[in-house]
């Protein structure tokens, strides 16, 4: 009995381990790639980055300006790698036909009779009896082993030069109001659906439940034409931040209301009635009793809606301009996917930047996130 259990337990562990591995590998690969040097990234898989790798590089020596005269020879000295690169040269060559002709320490002779030698760390020593007369140096080919190395250069490049920094700020400018406005409006709405008595309340609630599953594609064309009409009528831009806030508010309204209503109806009715008897208005009850009790529910809904807006692409594409001052991260990333499809250092880094905020929220507030989802998130 015990033996049987332990076999099934080992089997369970193994199977789960495989699942975990398959699920984490894609994201992990992206993260590692974003930290790699772009030249290495383009020619080798990310899984090779933890071991030393063999690289072949071409380097051009310095030209005539660098020469010094010593003991009757003209000498040019320099290093082929940057300081602290950790690369170690094994072989080198001086023609493209035979790039690993010489062992380190051997002396190679160019056609013009000048001699060059190179050591493991990449310091070369090039001497000639004649004066060097060419501005351009000569090419040397080195075969080296490169230790694992990671860099933040890609992040600097992407944030500052590719315009992702601005897109990052734009996404915040879209996401924060698009999360808070529905939360404010819907908490009043959900309150009235729970504790106010009025004609047509059940119909309104049924409408909200129906609206939960209406695909937002049904709204795009009419809303866009309303926005265009408003833009033309008042001479303002049809695509603007307030426009997208309201669109997100509209598309998130049903789910936010539904989740809040679900939560509010679980609060004890006696408490509300007691407050009413004491002469509190609905507004007092709402502010002083309902809001403080609803903070955990607010947190869950805030996270769900924030992540939804942050990760949205379609609404951002339709209701915002592609101009740098308005474009959001997901749209920018899609744009890069088209224009820089082969520049994986930019794509992986860009993707990781766009994921950074959701992942931060995920790892710090996972409990609320899960609670919100489990409370029955059906979003239209």
Partner 1 sequence: MTIFSLALTVLLGILAFVLFFHVSNFLLDYFGKRSSKIFKLENSLRAVIFIAPAFIILFVFIIYPVFETIRLSFYDKIGREFLGWSNYAWAIKDPDFRRSILNNFGWLLIVPTLSTFFGLVIANLADRVWWGTIAKSIIFMPMAISFVGAGVIWKFIYDYRGPEQEQIGLLNAIVVAFGFEPQAWLTIPVWNNLFLMAIMIWIQTGLALVIFSAALRSIPSETLDAARIDGASELKIFWSIIIPYLQQTILVIWTIITILVLKVFDIIYAMTNGQWQTEVLANLMYDWMFRGGGDSGRGSVLAFCIMIGVIPILGWNLYQHRKEQKI
Binding part of the chain for partner 1, among 69-77, 109-117, 145-153, 168-176 by CB under 8 A, reads 168-176
Based on CB atoms, which residue is closest to partner 1, 72 or 215?
215
Query: Pick from 16, 107, 152, 160: which binds partner 1 (CB under 8 A)?
Result: 16
Query: Pick from 196, 203, 233, 277: which binds partner 1 (CB under 8 A)?
Result: 196
Query: Pick from 98, 133, 207, 339: which binds partner 1 (CB under 8 A)?
Result: 207
Q: How far is the CB of 221 from partner 1 (least distance, A)?
A: 5
Coil vs helix vs strand at 94: coil
348 binds partner 1 (CB under 8 A): yes
- DSSP codes joined into one string, 273-334: HHHHHTT--HHHHIIIIIHHHHHHHHHHHHHHHHHHHHH--HHHHHHS-SSTTT--HHHHHH
Query: Pick from 58, 107, 160, 213: which binds partner 1 (CB under 8 A)?
Result: 213
CB atoms within 10 A of CB 14: 10
Q: How far is the CB of 37 from partner 1 (least distance, A)?
A: 13
Q: How far is the CB of 308 from partner 1 (least distance, A)?
A: 10
Q: Identify the CA nearest to 353 among candidates 364, 343, 345.
A: 345
Q: How far is the CB of 145 from partner 1 (least distance, A)?
A: 16
Q: Rounded distance, CA 214 to CA 207, Å?
A: 11
- For partner 1, the binding residues in 237-266 under the rule CB under 8 A are 241-242, 245-247, 249-251, 253-254, 257
Q: By the 8 A CB rule, do 55 and 89 touch? A: no
Q: By the 8 A CB rule, do 315 and 171 touch? A: no
Based on CB atoms, which residue is closest to partner 1, 274 or 313?
313
Binding part of the chain for partner 1, among 62-70, 140-148, 188-196, 288-296 by CB under 8 A, reads 188-196
Q: Pairing state of beta strands 102-103 and 108-109?
A: unpaired
340 binds partner 1 (CB under 8 A): no
Q: How far is the CB of 339 from partner 1 (least distance, A)?
A: 13
- For partner 1, the binding residues in 38-57 under the rule CB under 8 A are 41-47
Q: Pairing state of beta strands 73-79 and 123-128?
A: antiparallel
105 binds partner 1 (CB under 8 A): no
Q: Rounded distance, CA 192 to CA 272, Å?
A: 12
Contacts (Cβ under 8 Å, ≥6 apart) of 201: 193
Write out the H or E segment, with its range, that includes residue 350.
helix 344-374
Q: Identify the CA nearest to 34 among candidates 146, 147, 149, 152.
A: 152
Based on CB atoms, which residue is closest to partner 1, 254 or 297?
254
117 φψ region: left (φ > 0), alpha (ψ -120 to 50), beta (else): beta
Q: How far is the CB of 4 from partner 1 (least distance, A)?
A: 9
298 binds partner 1 (CB under 8 A): no
Q: How far is the CB of 38 from partner 1 (least distance, A)?
A: 12
Query: Pick from 55, 108, 204, 299: which binds partner 1 (CB under 8 A)?
Result: 204
315 binds partner 1 (CB under 8 A): no
Query: Pick from 89, 223, 297, 320: which binds partner 1 (CB under 8 A)?
Result: 223
- For partner 1, the binding residues in 318-337 under the rule CB under 8 A are 318, 325, 329-330, 333-334, 337
Q: How far is the CB of 299 from partner 1 (least distance, A)?
A: 16
Give the rounded distance of the alpha carbon of 212 from its chain centre: 29
Coil vs helix vs strand at 215: coil
């Amino acid at each position: 009995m015990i033996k049987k259990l332990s076999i099934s337990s080992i089997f369970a562990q193994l199977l789960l381990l495989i699942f975990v591995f398959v699920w984490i590998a894609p994201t992990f690969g992206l993260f590692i790639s974003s930290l790699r040097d772009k030249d290495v990234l383009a020619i080798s898989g990310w899984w090779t980055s933890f071991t030393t790798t063999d690289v072949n590089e071409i380097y051009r020596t310095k030209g005539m300006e660098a020469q010094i005269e010593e003991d009757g020879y003209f000498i040019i000295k320099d290093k082929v790698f940057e300081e602290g690169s950790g690369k170690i040269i094994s072989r080198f060559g001086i023609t493209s036909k035979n790039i690993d002709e010489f062992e380190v320490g051997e002396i190679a002779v160019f056609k013009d009779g000048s001699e060059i030698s190179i050591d493991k760390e990449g310091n070369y020593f090039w001497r000639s009896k004649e004066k060097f007369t060419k501005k351009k140096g000569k090419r040397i080919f080195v075969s080296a082993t490169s230790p694992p190395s990671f860099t933040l250069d890609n992040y600097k490049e992407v944030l500052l030069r590719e315009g992702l920094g601005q897109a990052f700020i734009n996404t915040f400018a879209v996401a924060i109001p698009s999360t808070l406005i529905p939360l404010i409006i819907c908490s009043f709405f959900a309150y009235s659906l729970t504790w106010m008595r009025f004609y047509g309340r059940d119909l309104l609630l049924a409408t909200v439940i129906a609206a939960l599953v209406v695909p937002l594609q049904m709204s795009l064309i009419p809303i866009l034409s309303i926005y265009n009409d408003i833009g033309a009528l008042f001479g303002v831009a049809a695509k603007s931040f307030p426009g997208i806030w309201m669109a997100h508010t509209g598309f998130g309204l049903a789910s936010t209301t539904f989740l809040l209503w679900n939560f509010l109806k679980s609060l004890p009715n006696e408490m509300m009635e007691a407050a009413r008897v004491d002469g509190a208005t609905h507004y007092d009850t709402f502010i002083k009793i309902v809001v403080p009790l609803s903070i955990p529910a607010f947190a869950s809904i805030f996270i769900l809606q924030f992540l939804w807006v942050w990760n949205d692409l379609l609404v951002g594409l339709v209701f915002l301009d592609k101009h740098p001052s308005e474009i959001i991260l997901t749209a920018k990333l899609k744009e890069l996917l088209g224009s820089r499809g082969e520049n994986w250092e930019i794509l992986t880094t860009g993707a990781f930047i766009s994921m950074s905020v959701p992942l931060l929220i995920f790892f710090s507030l996972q409990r609320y996130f899960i609670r919100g989802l489990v409370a029955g998130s059906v979003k239209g």
